[in-house]
Structure 1
Amino acid sequence: MRDDDLTNTFDAMFAEPLKLWDQLVPSGVKQGELGEWAAALQTMQALWLEFAQDQAATLAGKAPAMLTDPGNWLGIYEGWVRALPLTRPEVQQKLWADGMALWQTVLGQYGIDGKPAGEAPELPRKDRRFADPKWREQPFFALVHQTYLMLAEQVLALADSVEGVDPHQQDQLRFAARTLVEALSPAHFPVTNPLVLERAIATKGQSLAKGMQHLLADLKKGQLTHVDPQAFRLGENLATTPGKVVYQTPLFQLIQYSPTTDKVLETPLVIFPPWINRFYILDLSPEKSFIRWAVEQGVTVFVVSWKSADETMVDLTWDDYIRAQIEAIDTVRERLGVKAVHTIGYCVAGTTLAATLAVLARRGEADKVKSATFFTAQVDFEQAGELKVFIDDQQLQVVEKLAEEHGYLDGRYMATTFNLLRGNDLIWNYVVKNYLLGDDYPAFDLLHWNGDVTNLPAKWHRQYLTELYRDNKLVVPDALSADGTPIDLTRIQTPAYIQAGREDHIAPAASVWQIMHHLRGERTFLLAGSGHIAGVVNPPAAKKYQYWTGPAEAESLAEFIAGATETPGSWWPHWIAWLRGQDSAEVPAKGKRVPGEKGDKVVEDAPGSYVKAR
């Protein structure tokens, strides 16, 4: 392209955005539309004034502050970013040279009138965030997003190339760099997002007003909203599987579900969900409910519903959760008059279940548990993934500071941490939809659950981060103890079913695999498609994803995958066949198998009150 052509295209590049911008200011608005734009601006002004008044009350101590940074997370993050060598002359020279080459390549796709030279410009970089054709119709927006993608590549490469840091610091630097480039996407700024500009023009500013309403509401509650908060009600369209709370302690409620088959397996199932989230991830809408499905397979199902931490739980430690699991197992055994139970532990509750089994084995009580199923659970944290970037002395001090006032960690901080691991999907995607486009909130049960946070006991949380994540003591025989009993995972002979998610970013499959090296009983490993949640919550009727089974003698996850067989669809039928293989004896579904009947004293109907407490 000749210099004069490049200049003409450069001028044309800004012509269309300036036209769009002219329509967003009074001088460019049609006379009849001035009132509608004025109304939108007045709405935004009123919202902002109301928000400012609320924040004044917060600063005066009349409301809980959520807009501050009490743990100095931003200070820690800033320290990570500063390690990037962006100021080096050779780095800046490369950025400049690559930028000029990119500009020529992009502008060469357009004529001097700013229109694409062909049917559709062939831009060098692709990203699903910029898949809409409007990002390519005008050279300005094409150049903006292509330049961003080039810079993102270079920043991430710089993070990989930094020398003189230990592996943990390198991981922190990579995470910081990725988070930085995700945040700075041109899609997140109104004047550089053609979809936002077009929506604002079409709605005469109402989309911006609605987006501001969403933004300020989220700032006030200290949490990003993903779904319509009025769309779901526990016991009405979520967690609707019929059952009763049959036992209650200050830490948990025990729910027993009513049978739907004439006969049931003699050995009942006790499910331990993670207390980091609400238990109804396994009892979403009826068509997605693992609990309802298991009941329909002829299993007597019990589920522990953990209490979200409050000021009364300041002294709770990991020992209390291990004792609670043993208490739930014993309660079910006594209630139904059975010798043993099947168990499931999901995520951190699976980690705890392994410790519980080790304690029972040491005490000579291993026969209380007939089998153990682990959903995306880690016991060996050497390869625990990106969550480890948040584990060092400085950040542990942050956690202590956040929890010191009430003795528990506010669940909103933990939710933000998990969302950052998938920032584009769980944060920035909704920033664009909710705040910039002013979209209505969708009704999506899984995302509703994701935002239904729980608080964590401070002492236990620090113990978990230091002794397991940082120091990896659980896999060292007798390095830890619970309730006075040393923990040695190699004593566990209980048959185990171990499920991992191939795309899991919270409990990576390679990390979950490590449990195969520490247990000593019969072990079955299954790799499911998708991640930490969708990889587990995958009902057969959905016909989604797939799973892999492989040789039991594999020494590593890579060796397992190399010899694995892929099966389309849900892994749930594979699991129920395995469970029946442990003990297929059945009994009539009557008596104590039907909670609340024939004088059976219960606490309340499922899903209980603990899961509803906020």
Structure 2
Amino acid sequence: MSSPQLLRKKAPAPTPASTLPANTTDTADTTNTADAVMTAPTRSASDAACAPTRGTSSDDLDRAAHAAVAAWTGGLSPASMVLAWLDWAMHLTVSPGKQLDLATAALVAPAVQARGTPPAARRTPPDPRFAAAEWEAWPFRLYRDAFLLAQQWWEHASTGVPGVEAHHEDLVRFWARQWLDACSPGNFFATNPSAQKALIDSGGGIAIQGAQHWLEDFADMASRLRGGRPVHPSAWRPGHEVACTRGRVIWRNELCELLQYEPATSQVTREPVLIVPSWIMKYYILDLQPKDSLVKYLVDEGHTVFMVSWRNPGAADRDLALDDYLKRGLLAALFEVHARCGEPVHATGYCLGGTLLAIAAAALARDGKADLLRTVTLLAAQTDFSEPGELGLFIDASELAALDALMWQQGYLDGSQMAATFQLLNARDLIWSRMMSEYMLGRRSKPNDLMAWNADTTRMPYRMHSEYLTKLFLNNDLAEGRYCVDGQPVALPDIDAPAFVVGTERDHVSPWPSVYKLHLFTHNALTFVLTSGGHNAGIVSEPGHPGRHYRCATREPDAPYRSRQEFFEQTPSIDGSWWPCWSDWLRAHSTGQVSARQLDPALEPAPGRYVLES
């Protein structure tokens, strides 16, 4: 904690707020304003870890070779997979006890099944793929039970082999699961009794419907691969059915737009709320339909709300860096909000936007600018990446070399490529079960606003995403005090603003135990909320949503650390949405109310231009 403090040098004062453009919606020279907040000091030899690295022609040759391989594997590293399997196989070879256990399981289980005794695999929670009564008929129950036994055997085989490196064990178990899910008897018409019954009951109609669905999806995929728009446009259009909270674009540069929403009350909280979403997503995840819009909820609660809307980059933006997103994005928007309202800001970051906000807050505190922030709210955002959850399967040096080469060749990571990774993490439901339902049974999933948003993908600039994956995910530089802004490291313990941190119970992107780790990096007041749902649905959890619950506890300044298990066991579950809890917290950390801040009606209306770009 002391090391970053010893390296500090006082930054020059920021550009006065009065010099900022008052009401511009065109590209403005705002980069200097943000840069004034963080001005690079003279580097010393001790800052070598913060110095940028430069590629050579031989590096480019290596990248080209890696990119050629990655193009065939979808950005996955064959070397990483092979090394994992070799590690597992070689250690299994010299583990006779484990071999004996596996051989016994392979011989005994089929004998038990032949006698009609339910296999052990069926005593676990029931698999929804085999919930239909038709699976109890012969011979389909044999197919099902054999599959469940194989699944159980591979789970035992891929874990607990002495000497296997933990990451390799996770990879072997993951790829074994992918192979098994692909071979499930439910995926094939000849071994799926539900599909056969549905075909007979429909008089062959589901076959026609399934074929039609396949042709529609194929045409849609072909259009996307050619760079065109979807064949079947979404019924959820930003500015119409979604992203329709009334507001204006008050500022724009080449990287992002800043939206301000029209007040719904005559009085508003004095300190405004600035929301910074992840650049991996379109911002309107937080402004879907009026009934489940977090933006509208905050406006109706009497808050002045600003939102960052990131531009969707292309190949020409390949050299945009993470530092650009910090200075020309988050900090520039923060300075603009502060200039317009004249008050410190309730800064809020979602997912990677929250990670970027943590970096910004630490850098502002380091340079004596902490008074720009009233509070910091992090929604499903990691600051320590040592436990990244299932995404860690795709984070090692070999995987990142392959992905880096692919992005280097394209200039960006395409949203569809990133979506494929998330689909692999839950292939059973997102790939195989969907294919069975839509193509074999002829059932078309009815889209909703969240699904439409999920399909509205974005791209990641090569340099920025490479820096993010390497510095934050692989090296964990932020948590370990090596992440640099303006050539000097930033430290999370320097953040002294009160924090409100939200984790979600079923988050595969930002697992809540990882989000909870911010407790280890601050001794200031920290309110932690654990809510039901996943990375998206847990955050979009409006009042009245059935089945929602949350836990909330505040760690007072300098209070001792409480483990996440203790938090979970000792904090009672509260039915309902966590949104009112957060709104009350924002109000409690504000300094009263002022007259509502009105917008110039001549400004461009929300949702602006950038969110509409494909």
Question: TM class, shorter-chain normalised?
Answer: 0.7 to 0.9
**For residues 286 and 148 of structure 2, what CA distance do their matches in structure 1 show?**
39
Paired with 1:485 and 1:576, the residues of 2 have a C-alpha distance of 35
- CA deviation after TM superposition for structure 1 residue 191, in Å: 1.6
Matches within 5 A, 1:393-408: 393-408=397-412
Distance 2:85 2:164 in 1: 14
Q: Secondary structure at the match of 1:157?
A: helix
The answer (yes or no) to whether the contact 1:347–1:378 under 8 Å persists in 2 is yes
The CA deviation at 1:582 is 0.5
Q: Is the 8 A contact 1:501 1:509 kept in 2?
A: yes
2:330 to 301, 325, 330: 325
Cα deviation, residue 519, structure 1? 2.5
Which residue identity lines up with residue 251 of structure 1 in the other structure? L
Structure 2 residue 559 is the aligned partner of structure 1 residue 555? no
The question of whether the paired residues in 1 share the 8 Å contact of 2:85 and 2:168 is answered with: no
Alignment partners' CA distance in 2, 1:340 and 1:539? 27
Amino acid at match of 1:188: N
Which segment is superposed worse, 298-307 or 411-420?
Answer: 411-420
Q: 1:67 to 1:195 in 2, by over 3 A?
A: farther
- AA in 2 matched with 1:493: D
Residue aligned with 2:114, SS: helix
Does structure 2 conserve the Cα–Cα contact (< 8 Å) formed by 1:272 and 1:350?
Answer: yes
Please name the residue that 1:198 is paired with: 197
Instruction: Find the aligned partners of 1:184 and 1:393 in 2 and give their Cα distance.
Output: 30
Counterpart residue identity of residue 492, structure 1: I
Distance 1:227 1:523 in 2: 47
1:105 is matched with 116
One-letter amino acid of the structure 1 residue matched with residue 576 of structure 2: G
**In 1, Cα distance between the equivalents of 2:88 and 2:189?**
28
| Cα distance in 2, alignment partners of residues 535 and 521 from structure 1 | 26
| CA–CA distance in structure 1, aligned partners of residues 253 and 296 of structure 2 | 24
Decide which of 392, 398, 403 is 2:396's aligned counterpart. 392
Note if contact 1:492-1:520 (Cα within 8 Å) is conserved in structure 2: no
Q: Which amino acid aligns with 2:334?
A: I
Corresponding residue of 2:156: 157
2:572 alignment counterpart:
565
How far 1:221 sits from its partner (Å)? Answer: 5.3
| Aligned positions of 1:107-506 closer than 5 A | 126-136=126-136, 138-201=137-200, 202-204=202-204, 205-214=207-216, 216-217=218-219, 219-220=221-222, 229-323=233-327, 324-336=329-341, 338-477=342-481, 479-506=482-509
Pick which of 193-202 and 560-569 moved more. Answer: 193-202
Structure 1 unpaired stretches of 5+: 1-65, 110-121
Are the structure 2 counterparts of residues 198 and 207 from structure 1 closer, same or farther at C-alpha, using a change threshold of 3 Å? farther
Residues 159, 173 of structure 1: 8 Å contact kept: yes
Shift of 1:79: 5.9
Alignment map for 1:13-52 (pairs within 5 Å): none
1:400-443 deviation line (CA, Å, top 9, x unaligned): 22212231111111111122222223222312222222222412
Match of residue 32 from structure 1: none
Q: Which moved more, 1:348-357 or 1:155-164?
A: 155-164
**SS at 1:253 equivalent:** strand
Give the C-alpha shift of residue 80 in structure 1: 4.4
Say which is worse superposed, 287-296 or 395-404, in terms of deviation: 395-404
| Distance apart, 1:71 and its partner CA | 3.3
Give the counterpart of 2:536 among 533, 544, 549.
Answer: 533
Once the two structures are superposed, what CA deviation does each residue of 1:449-507 show, in whole Å capped at 9, x if it has no partner? 12221110111111111111111110123x12123443111111011001111221211
Give the residue type in structure 2 aligned to 1:209.
A
2:525 matched to which residue of 1?
522
User: 1 CA distance for matches of 2:224 and 2:563?
Assistant: 42
Paired with 1:99 and 1:321, the residues of 2 have a C-alpha distance of 57
Amino acid at match of 2:476: N
Using a 3 Å threshold, how does the CA distance of structure 1 residues 134 and 81 change in structure 2: closer, same or farther?
farther
Give how far 1:290 is off.
Answer: 0.5
Aligned AA (2:611): V
CA contact (8 A) 2:224 2:230 kept: no
Number of residues of Structure 1 aligned to a counterpart in Structure 2: 526
For the 8 Å contact 1:354–1:379, the answer to whether it is kept is yes
Partner of 2:3: none
Paired amino acid for 1:559: E
Does 2:517 align with 1:509? no
Q: Deviations over 1:24-57 (max 9, x none)?
A: xxxxxxxxxxxxxxxxxxxxxxxxxxxxxxxxxx
What's 2:105 paired with? 94
Q: Hey, what's the Cα distance between the residues in 1 that align with 2:437 and 2:159?
A: 32
- The answer to whether the Cα contact below 8 Å between 2:508 and 2:534 also exists between their aligned partners in 1 is yes
Superposition RMSD in Å: 2.8
State the one-letter code of the partner of 1:128.
P
- Give the residue type in structure 2 aligned to 1:415: A
Q: Is residue 384–residue 514 contact of structure 2 (8 Å, CA) maintained in 1?
A: yes
| Aligned-partner SS, 1:405 | helix
**Distance in structure 1 (CA, Å) of the matches to 2:442 and 2:449:** 21
Aligned AA for 2:209? S
8 Å Cα contact 2:248/2:261 also seen in 1? yes
Cα deviation for residue 378 of structure 1 reads 0.7
Q: 1:124 to 1:325 in 2, by over 3 A?
A: closer
TM-score by length of 1: 0.80
What is the CA distance between 1:257 and its match in structure 2? 0.8
After TM superposition, give the deviation of residue 375 of structure 1 in Å: 0.4
Q: Describe the superposition over 1:202-261 as per-residue Cα deviations: whole angstroms up to 9, x where unpaired.
A: 2423134224324533653579x9997532211111111111111111111111111111
CA contact (8 A) 2:249 2:606 kept: yes
Equivalent pair of 2:213/2:444 in contact (CA under 8 Å): no
Partner residue, 2:55: none
Q: Is the 8 A contact 2:286 2:295 kept in 1?
A: yes
8 Å CA contact 2:272, 2:343 repeated in 1: no
2:580 counterpart letter in structure 1: P
Deviations 1:274-294 (A, max 9, x none): 111111110111111111111
- Counterpart AA for 2:337: V
In the alignment, is the contact (CA less than 8 A) between 1:492 and 1:519 conserved in 2?
yes
How has the CA–CA distance of structure 1 residues 188 and 215 changed in structure 2, closer, same or farther, with 3 Å as cutoff? farther
User: Which region of structure 1 is more displaced relative to structure 2, 553-562 or 214-223?
Assistant: 214-223
Shift of 1:329: 0.7
Alpha-carbon distance between aligned partners in 2 of 1:203 and 1:612, rounded to the nearest angstrom: 43
Decide whether the 8 Å contact of 1:345 with 1:377 is kept in 2.
Answer: yes
For residues 566 and 594 of structure 1, the distance between their equivalents in structure 2, rounded to whole angstroms, comes to: 39
| Higher CA-based Rg | 1
CA distance in 1 between partners of 2:131 and 2:541 (Å): 28
Residue 486 of structure 2 aligns with an amino acid whose one-letter code is D
Aligned-partner SS, 1:540 = coil
Give the conservation status (yes or no) of the 8 Å contact 2:313–2:459.
yes
Residues in 2 aligned to 1:562 and 1:72: alpha-carbon distance in whole angstroms: 39
- Between the two proteins, what is the percent identity of the paired residues? 34
Distance 2:251 2:76 in 1: 42
CA drift of 1:444 comes to 1.4
8 A Cα contact 2:321 2:463, kept in partner? yes
State the shift of 1:544 in Å: 3.0
